[in-house]
Amino acid sequence: MLTAITRSVSPAMNGCELAYLPRVEIDIPKAAEQHRRYEACLRELGVSVISLAAEPEMPDAIFVEDPAVVVDEVAVMTRMGAASRRKESESLATALSQFRPIRWMKEPATLEGGDVLRAGRTLFVGLSPRTNRAGIAQLAAELEPLGYAIRPVEVHGCLHLKSACTSLGDRTMLANRAWCDTAAFDGFQILDVPADEPCGANVLTIGDTALVPACFPGTARMVERLGWKIRTLDISELMKAEAALTCSSIIFR
């Protein structure tokens, strides 16, 4: 059975980190309702959701994907590139310790889970404003002895690797080629997002269903043509904090 760890929206979300978007007022109750619908959708798809309490003094804590990389054997707690977010890790590590042994990254590494895209036993890791080569090296030191391959990918023009691409299974990547070096995905089919939906590459797949933000209908149609069942979600208020669908949960067996 799949388990997802999520965290409720912080009342301080308007103080979130922003890298690429101008700051716009977030309607906190609306954002919280959109997040609850996201969690409800996961449950409807058969996922057991563990929803952690909001962190009132941590504006970005809803984005639980970034402080950890979880594989079958261990959970690696990252050292996030946004220094203001590093205190999010403690309570998340406590939750994950019920399921996996915990490993911790150390200075000078920086790495955020939004930069880690898993395809089977290969983890593609974005070299981005939030993840450096030392972070990739420490992740490799933890996971390569367990049989994982770590492949760096250059990221430019967006926050994380998974802002630029996500996996659609069957060695297919949904991608915005302008934001990452797709040469790293040798042997994969690249499905290009519509030109008018440059942020559409981040989708979340569960079983035979793909979750797509409601504001990317062209992307949804493309993914549906590959045989995926489509669920669309309105995350418009969360997107003001540079949210995407994968970043608000850690999903594992």
What CATH number is given to the structural domain containing 223? 3.75.10.10
Residue 166 has what pLDDT? 98
pLDDT digits (tens, 9 = 90+) for 144-164: 999 999 999 999 999 999 999
Give 230's pLDDT tier (boundaries 50, 70, 90).
Answer: very high
pLDDT digits (tens, 9 = 90+) for 57-78: 999 999 999 999 999 999 999 9
Residue 66 has what pLDDT? 98
Please confirm, yes or no, whether 160 is among the known catalytic residues: yes
Residue 251 has what pLDDT? 98
Give 171's pLDDT tier (boundaries 50, 70, 90).
Answer: very high
DSSP H or E stretch at residue 251: strand 250-252
Q: Is residue 235 within 8 Å of 245, Cβ to Cβ?
A: yes
Please confirm, yes or no, whether 247 is among the known catalytic residues: yes
Q: What would the mean pLDDT of 90-102 be, rounded to a whole number?
A: 98
Output DSSP code: residue 83. Answer: G
Alpha carbon of 153 to those of 25, 50, 133, 177, 178: distances in Å? 33, 31, 11, 12, 13
Residue 99 has what pLDDT? 98
Q: Is residue 212 within 8 Å of 230, Cβ to Cβ?
A: yes
Among candidate residues 160, 165, 180, 199, the one labeled active-site is 160
pLDDT digits (tens, 9 = 90+) for 179-218: 999 999 999 999 999 999 999 999 999 999 999 999 999 9
Domains in the chain, number: 1
Q: Give the burial string for 109-122 (b: 16+ CB within 10 Å, else e).
A: bbbbbbbbbebeee
Give 79's pLDDT tier (boundaries 50, 70, 90).
Answer: very high
- What's the pTM? 0.97
Residue 213 has what pLDDT? 98
Percent of the chain exceeding pLDDT 90 equals 100
Residue 108 has what pLDDT? 98
Listed in sequence order, the residues at least 6 apart from 214 whose beta carbon sits closer than 8 Å to its beta carbon are 232, 233, 234, 235, 236
Query: Could you count the other beta carbons within 10 Å of the beta carbon of residue 26?
Result: 20
Residue 252 has what pLDDT? 98
Residue 80 has what pLDDT? 98
Among candidate residues 16, 165, 180, 247, the one labeled active-site is 247
- State the Cα torsion 127-124-7-104 to the nearest 10°: -70
Output DSSP code: residue 131. Answer: B
Structural domain of residue 93, as residue ranges? 3-252
Residue 56 has what pLDDT? 97
The strand pairing partners of 1, in sequence order, are none
